[in-house]
Copies of this chain bind each other. A is one copy, B any other.
Amino acid sequence: VVAAASLGEFERIARYFAPLAAPGGLGLLDDVALIDGPPGQQYVLKTDAIVEGVHFFAGDPAGQVAQKLLRVNLSDLAAKGAVPVGYLLVTALPATRDERWLEAFAAGLAADQAAYGIGLLGGDSTATSGPVTLSITALGRIAAGRAVLRSGARPGDRVFVSGTLGDAALGLAALKGELGRLDAASRAFLVARYRLPQPRLALGQRLVGLARAMMDVSDGLAGDLGHLCKASGVGASIEAARLPLSPAARAAIAAEPPRLMAALAGGDDYELLFAAPPEAESALAALARDAGVPLTMIGQIEGGSGVRVLDERGAAMSLAVTGYRHF
């Protein structure tokens, strides 16, 4: 008898839950479920949970915890090209969370509801003897048949990523006191990237019809690209030297080169990772300029399976860590 926690999340899903999947559940291989909506539309459904001590710190500001919770779900809608509609919320709170905490939590939700044009559809709140445990089920809509699934990548496609990678993992390392030599502004930038994801909703919506397969980077680039490849029945190679890094991440990695792993396998960046055919490249460049978000080509889709990470000389690097383990 193996402790359940020793099985990875993905093995656990594959073994116990994938056999339970409904047709709209896409075999639990994608980020979301799809169900029929009003004429010409589908709903995109996603649920994600965060737990104190696993996904956030007990002392994190309640408003930011609320926003992170909401945004990690919206990020999955973004990665399908969907427009958010609303959400349902479950809170399990220990008695130690006072009204001030709840008030700040609700204020964080209110701010993001205004920012993203959505509202609360329902929820449940319960007591717990354990850590704060929060989950959201987010609902989005998209033109029928237009959701960008994980499964559409083809050999010859280019692999792109939005924004910069590794910031959140470095921010977490900074919060844990592991990053020594870092100026205050860089530190603040990285911590904010960890605490407050920016779901790429507008960008995701404009990638519909350009990207052939898409997901968000939540568990780390290498692992997440592996999931996309598996769903598409392809392999991929990425070039480490092409990974887009923020100035702060560049500084942290210059000080400690092994920190490059944050960009390759660190989680919580919530950027968009997608495959697009070579002929989409100029449209993507225009879109990136328009949206003010960099889109960087980091590698390509190949036949076979698995993800190879190539160093500057084109040699395969070995990755000790292929997926992100929180904390």
Contact = CB atoms under 8 A, between A and B. Distances in A.
A295 B3 CA distance: 46
A102 to B, nearest CB: 5
B122 A33 contact: yes
Contacts of A129: 51, 53-54, 130-131
Interface stretch (A41-49, A179-187, A249-257, A286-294): A41-49
Interface in A130-169: 130-131, 133, 135, 137, 139
Interface stretch (A4-12, A207-215, A264-272): A4-12
Given A120-B22, A125-B9, A47 B4 contact: no
Contacts of A50: 126
Interface in A1-55: 1-7, 9, 12-13, 16-17, 19-25, 28, 32-33, 35-39, 43, 45-51, 53-55
A98 B38 contact: no
A106 B20 CA distance: 8
Interface string A89-105: 11011111111111101
B53 A93 contact: no
A16 B102 contact: yes
A310 interface: no
B121 A25 contact: yes
A254 B86 CA distance: 49
A68 B59 CA distance: 34
B54 A2 contact: no
Given A13-B125, A128-B133, 12 more contacts: A1-B99, A4-B102, A5-B93, A17-B106, A19-B106, A21-B121, A22-B118, A45-B137, A47-B89, A47-B124, A49-B92, A137-B137
Interface of A: 1-7, 9, 12-13, 16-17, 19-25, 28, 32-33, 35-39, 43, 45-51, 53-55, 85-86, 88-90, 92-103, 105-106, 109-110, 113, 118-131, 133, 135, 137, 139
